Copies of this chain bind each other. A is one copy, B any other.
C-alpha cells in the first residue's frame, strides 16, 4: 500500500485518555479510533493485524478438528431463560426488544445458542465429538470500559464449544484445546502461561486461563522456571500438569514454601473450561447411545480474546519508539521508505522494489511528500518487521539500507539482490 493514499492517521502525541502503552500506540499508529465508550473502529492497519490473528486461530482450531460457524450477534432471550442465565447474567448483558416487542440480547457468549443448535441437529453419539467455534463480535456492557481494546464493550472473541459423549472424552477434547492454544501463542511469537483457574459459578472440573507475559500486565503471575524448557509445539496438558503456575489471586508469595518461582506480570487472553451438563441438562441436549438410551451431552467452552490479543501483543512487543510486530501478524512485511522523493533514481528504485517485494499486500510504501524524520519516526511507530530505506547517497553506490525493527540492526544491501527470498522469513504465515 502506498502511504500517500493510505488511511493510516498517525499521531505524534499520546491521546489524553489512553493510560496504557498498547492503547496509546494503537491510537498513535492509526490502528483504531474510538466510536463510543469502549467501542472502537478498526482502521486498515489494525484490521489487518486482527484478521491475521484470526487466521492463525483458524489454523490451530482446524488442526484439532474445530469447525467454524457463525451465530448472529443478537439472540432471542428465551434461550437464555431456558438456561437460567437471563436473570443471573446482570447488567453487562445488553437487553433490547425488536419492533414486535420480542426480547433479545446482544450475545456476550453463546453457550445457549450453541446448545440449541446441537439439540436440533445432532441425534446420535456416533456424530461425537463435535467442536464448533466462531470468531465473532460480542458485547458486554462494562460499567467502566478502559485500556482500549483490552477491556472494551464490543469486542472480537473466538468462542469454541465442544460436545462429547463422556467426561473422559470431554477431558481429551480439553487437552487438545490446551495444546492448540499453546501452539497458537508460539505461532504469534508470544510467551504465554497457562494457569489453573477457578471454574466459578459455572461449575465444571477443568479450567485454565492463559496469560500473555508482559511487564505491565494486569495480573501477577508466578511460575516454575522449568516452564522455560517446555516445547509448546507438542505440548499436552499431561506434559505440564506437574509444573506450577498461578496468578496472584490464587498465589501468596508470603506463604509459598516450594521451589523458587519466576515472578512476572501477565494479561489474560484466554479462558477454557469444561462444564459437563450445565447447559445440556436444562436445555435437553441429548444423544442416543448404542443401547437406545439417551444421555445429556458433555460440554466445554473455550474463549480467546482476539482484539485483546492485539493489545497484549503490543504490551509484550514494543519499545520507546513504537510497536514491534512479530512477522507472523505484521500488517505488512516491509516498510519501504523513500527519503529521496525529489530524486528520479530514488523514485524509480523505490517503485521497482515495491512491485518486486509484493506490492500492496506485502509492502507499506512511504511515498509521502514529507521529511525524512517524519518517515523514519512513523516507520518505527507502526513497527513493521523490516525497513528498507532508499536514499540518494546510498543509491549512488547501488545500495539501500535495511533496518530490522526489532534488533535495530542495520545493513547496506545491493539493490539488485533485494528479493522476497533475500529475507529469510522464519515466521509462520497465517495461511
Query: A residues bordering B, Cβ < 8 Å?
Result: 1, 5-7, 9, 33, 35-36, 39-44, 47, 50, 62, 65, 67-76, 91-92, 94, 96, 98-99, 102, 104, 106, 113, 116-117, 120-122, 127, 130, 132, 137, 139, 141, 143, 153-154, 360-361, 431
Cβ B72 vs Cβ A41 within 8 A? yes
* A91 proximity list for chain B (CB < 8 A): 99
Expressed in whole angstroms, the Cα–Cα distance for A194 and B116 within the complex equals 41
Number of copies: 2
Nearest residue, chain B, Cβ from A129: B5
B62–A360 contact, CB under 8 A? yes
Task: Enumerate 27 A-B pairs (CB-CB under 8 Å) in ascending A order.
Answer: A6-B67, A9-B121, A33-B120, A33-B121, A35-B71, A35-B75, A35-B76, A36-B74, A39-B74, A41-B69, A41-B71, A41-B72, A44-B68, A44-B69, A47-B69, A62-B361, A72-B137, A73-B73, A73-B154, A74-B139, A74-B154, A91-B99, A92-B99, A94-B96, A96-B96, A98-B141, A137-B137
* B residues less than 8 Å from A76 (CB atoms): 35-36
Known contacts A71-B35, A360-B62; is-contact A41 B99 (Cβ 8 Å): no
Q: Which residues of B contact A94 (CB under 8 A)?
A: 96, 98-99
Query: B residues within 8 A CB of A127?
Result: 7
Interface residue from B41, B72, B132, B361 paired with A36 (Cβ < 8 Å): B72
Determine whether the beta carbon of A70 is less than 8 Å from that of B96: no
**For chain A, what secondary structure do more than half of its interface residues adopt (helix, strand, loop), or is it mixed?**
mixed
Among A41, A73, A91, A94, find the residue whose CB has the most chain B CB atoms closer than 10 A.
Answer: A41
Interchain CB contact under 8 A, B70 and A47: yes
A101 CB to nearest chain B CB (Å): 11
Contact A137 B73, CB 8 Å, known A7-B130, A96-B96, A120-B33: yes
Known contacts A6-B67, A41-B117, A36 near B130 by CB under 8 Å:
no
B33 contacts A117, CB within 8 Å? yes
Residues of B within 8 A of A96 (CB): 94, 96
> Knowing that A5-B65, A36-B75, A44-B69 are A-B contacts, what are 12 other residue pairs whose CB atoms are under 8 Å apart, sorted by A's residue number?
A7-B69, A7-B127, A33-B121, A35-B71, A35-B72, A36-B102, A41-B70, A43-B69, A47-B68, A72-B154, A91-B99, A137-B137
Who on chain B is nearest to A93 by CB?
B99
Q: Is the CB of A113 within 8 A of B5?
A: no
A7-B132, A33-B120 given; A106·B68 CB < 8 A:
no
List of B residues within 8 angstroms of A42 by Cβ = 69-70
**What is the minimal beta-carbon distance from A295 to any residue of chain B, in angstroms?**
19
Given A98-B141, A99-B91, A143-B99, A113 and B69 contact (CB-CB distance below 8 Å): no
Enumerate chain B residues within 8 angstroms of A132, measured Cβ to Cβ.
7
How many angstroms between the C-alpha atoms of A94 and B132 in the bound complex? 29
Tell me, in angstroms, the Cα distance from A94 to B130 when the chains sit together. Answer: 34
User: Contact: A113 with B68, CB < 8 Å?
Assistant: no
Question: Given the complex of chains A and B, what is the CA–CA distance between A9 and B302 in angstroms?
Answer: 23
A113 touches B41 (CB 8 A): yes
Closest chain-B Cβ to A134's Cβ sits at a distance in Å of 9
A136 and B387 CA atoms in complex are apart in Å by 33
Give the chain B neighbours of A35 by CB distance below 8 A: 71-72, 75-76, 113, 116
Inter-chain contacts of A139 with B (CB < 8 A): 74
Q: Whose C-beta in chain B lies nearest to the C-beta of A41?
A: B71
